Amino acid sequence: MGQYRWESDLAKAPVIETKDLTIRFGGNVAVNTVNLQFEEYSLKSIIGPNGAGKTTLFNLISGQYKPTSGQVIFDGQDITGLDPATRTKLGIGRSFQLTNIFSTLSVLENVRLALQSKADVGMVFWRHWRSYFKLEDQAYELLKQVLLEDRWADEANTLTHGEKRKLEIAILLGLDPKVLLLDEPTAGMSIEEVPAILKIIQNIKAARKRTILLVEHKFDMIMNVSDSIAVLKDGRLICDDVPEAVSCNPEVMEAYLGGGMKYG
């Protein structure tokens, strides 16, 4: 689509920037001198074959891993040394490739906790959690946004896989992050469930309040929603461009789409 391309022409400072980001696990260089810029309110997808280092790059940005060398810059500030919790407070919210929710808590409580974190309630132990009733109401509104309001009272482990992914997005929205890191939001979903998630992502993008990073396997899906696509192979960035250019790039065809495989 790319209807928001004009945004990047304004030469704004990128929200997130990686500078020569490298991480080694023993002899294996999982991410190798990756330089990427993520522009404000854009949706950039990261693709690449299995083991290309997509999720590792995510973990470096969100702070689960510390890089061997290189930097992560967020809003002009070097955040390379910060832990994941601090980065979340700064405004980087992430989802996980494997569903990651509080399974024994209620659906509403999952989202409410995110809002509590954002509201900076702090280490309060003399008030009852229910006295922060605004958080509950906001949580319900977010569940409505991801079309999950009917299940608010249920325990989260009773949700279907697709519903759990929706819940994850609601949790992320509860953090109200500047940057959303979505690690394969449609992984393991049945084909009927994918459009709903896609719709939610497009709605977030259309609201133009957040920068979105997306790791995805489904190439046709990325082509439709992304402003730009970065391609990783063996830990190296081999291409970073608008979707049309990426799909024509011979190196990408070779690395990712090659071997007689057609996208779609």
Partner 1 sequence: MTTEMTPVQRERFQAQQAFFKRPSFLIQVALVIGLILVPLVPSFRVMDMMAKIMIFSIVVASYDLILGYTGLLSFAHAMFFGIGAYSMALLCYHLGSPQWHHLILATIVALAMSVVLALILAFFSLRTKAIFFAMLSLALADFFHILGRSWRNLTLGEDGVTFSLPGILNVQGQGFSLFGLNISPRTMTYYLVLVVSVALFIFLVRFVGSPVGRVLQAIRDNEQRSTALGFKTFPHQIYSIVFGSSISSMGGILFALWLRYVDPESVLGVFSMVDYLLMVIIGGLGTMYGSIIGAAFFITVQTWLPDLLRGIAANFPDYEIIQRMADRWMAYFGVMFVVVILVFPKGIVGTVQKIIRRRRMASFK
Q: Least distance to partner 1 from the beta carbon of 64, Å?
A: 8
Rounded CA-CA distance 84/62 in Å is: 6
Q: Least distance to partner 1 from the beta carbon of 75, Å?
A: 16
How many Cβ atoms are within 10 Å of 184's Cβ, its own excluded? 20
| Distances from the Cα of 224 to the Cα of 47, 84, 212, angstroms | 14, 31, 14
What's the gap between Cα 168 and its chain centre?
11
Closer to partner 1 by Cβ: residue 11 or 85: 85
Closer to partner 1 by Cβ: residue 135 or 238: 135
Closer to partner 1 by Cβ: residue 3 or 131: 131
Residue ranges binding partner 1 (CB under 8 A)? 62, 83-86, 88-89, 93-94, 96, 100-105, 108-109, 112-114, 116-118, 121-130, 132-133, 136-137, 139-140, 149-150, 152-154, 171, 175
Q: Least distance to partner 1 from the beta carbon of 157, Å?
A: 10
Rounded CA-CA distance 235/122 in Å is: 39
Q: Tokens in use for 169?
A: 């997005």
By the 8 A CB rule, do 73 and 81 touch?
no
Q: Least distance to partner 1 from the beta carbon of 70, Å?
A: 22
Q: Least distance to partner 1 from the beta carbon of 72, Å?
A: 16
| Distances from the Cα of 198 to the Cα of 164, 170, 203, angstroms | 15, 14, 9
Q: Least distance to partner 1 from the beta carbon of 239, Å?
A: 29
Closer to partner 1 by Cβ: residue 4 or 102: 102
Closer to partner 1 by Cβ: residue 211 or 228: 211
Closer to partner 1 by Cβ: residue 4 or 129: 129
Q: Least distance to partner 1 from the beta carbon of 89, Å?
A: 5
Residue 245, helix vs strand vs coil: helix
Closer to partner 1 by Cβ: residue 141 or 193: 141
What's the gap between Cα 18 and its chain centre?
16
Helices (H), the chain: 5-9, 54-62, 84-90, 107-119, 133-145, 161-174, 194-207, 219-225, 243-248, 250-252
Contacting residues for 8 by C-beta, under 8 A, at least 6 apart: 39, 42, 227, 228
